[in-house]
Amino acid sequence: MVEEGHLTRAAERLGIRASSLSQQIIALERELDANLFVRTQAGMTPTAAALALLPHARRILEEAELGARAVRDTVGRPLRIGVTPGAPPAVLATLYAEAAEIEDLSAARQLELLRRGGLDAGLLALPEDVDGLRAAIVSERPLGVLVSVAHPLARLDEVSWVDLTGLDLLLYERKLAPGYHDRLLADCVAAGWRPAHVRAGPPRRSLFVAELRHGGDVVALRPREEPAEGLRWLPLRTAPVVRHALVWDPAHECSDRIAALV
C-alpha cells in the first residue's frame, strides 16, 4: 500500500478486492490505535505511524518467506540417513519407502556427522555415545551364532555358550562402534564365554564372510539373518539382545519428519 499509494492498485498487486484490503487496513488501524494513511481523492498517503511500522512489517514478511522456503526445502528433499552393517531389514525397508538416501556408515562416523549437521539421522546399534541426540529404539533382536557350514557347530540345532569354548570371535574393529563392541564382549564374559581371541574382522561384508568360511575355529555373533553361501546361522541359548536405534539431533530442521519414521 505504501509503495502503490492507491488502494485499487495495491489490491490488484495483492490479488484481492479493494474492499477487502480497505477493511484489513481499518482493522489494523483500530488495533494499533493510530491512523496509517491520509485518504484523499488522489490516493492514500502514509502517515508517520505507517512509515515507522513499515520496516518491521517488511522484516516480518521476509522472515515468513524464509520460513516457508525452509519448509519447502525440508519437505521436498530426501532424508540422508546412515546405517551400519547388519541393520534390521524391516527398518531399512521403511527408510527406503520414505525415499531416504541411505549411506553405509560406521556408528562412529554417523555420530560424527550427526553432530556436524552432515547427516539427518543414523541407524545404529546401542549402546553408543548419543549424548545430546535423540535415540528411539526401532528393533530388538536376539543374537545368534554365525559359523561356517564346515564347522562342527553347524551340525547343532542350537548353541550354548559352553559350545563356544576355545573358539575365536570375529568382530569389527572397536573404533567403528566402541560402545556396542565393548558391550558385546562384556555380555560374552557375563555369560561365561571368553573368546580365545577377538579377531578384528574386515569392514567389507565379502571379506568378513570369507574369514568365517575359511578362518577355522571362529564364529561371529549376529542377529538372525539369511546367511551367505557357506555359512549357517544358529540360535544361541540365553542370547543377549542387540538394540538398534534411529538417532538424530532434536534441534534438526527435519526432526518431526525423522520422528515420524519411528
Report how far apart the first and last C-alpha atoms of the chain are (Å, whole number): 48
**Domain count for the chain:** 3
- Indicate whether 1 belongs to any domain: no
Q: State the residue for C-alpha cell 547427516.
A: 119
Which is more confident, 56 or 220?
220
- Indicate whether 2 belongs to any domain: no
1 exposed, middle or buried (CB, 10 Å; 0-12, 13-18, 19+)?
Answer: buried
The pTM of this model reads 0.70
Does 235 lie in the same domain as 250? no
Residue whose C-alpha is closest to residue 161's, from 239, 68, 87: 239
Which is more confident, 67 or 54?
54
Domain boundary among 48, 73, 98: 73
Domain boundary among 56, 73, 90: 73
Tell me, what CATH number does 95's domain have? 3.40.190.10
- Average the pLDDT over each of 73-77, 233-237, 250-254 and give the range with the smallest value: 73-77
- Give the Cα separation of 82 and 258 in Å (integer): 13
Which is more confident, 54 or 169?
169
The answer to whether 82 and 103 are in contact (CB under 8 A) is yes
pLDDT (mean) for 8-24: 78
Q: How confident is the model at residue 2 (pLDDT cuts 50, 70, 90)?
A: low
- Indicate whether 33 belongs to any domain: yes
Does 89 lie in the same domain as 18? no
pLDDT (mean) for 50-79: 74
Domain range enclosing 107 = 79-137+244-260
Does 157 lie in the same domain as 227? yes
Tell me, what CATH number does 228's domain have? 3.40.190.290
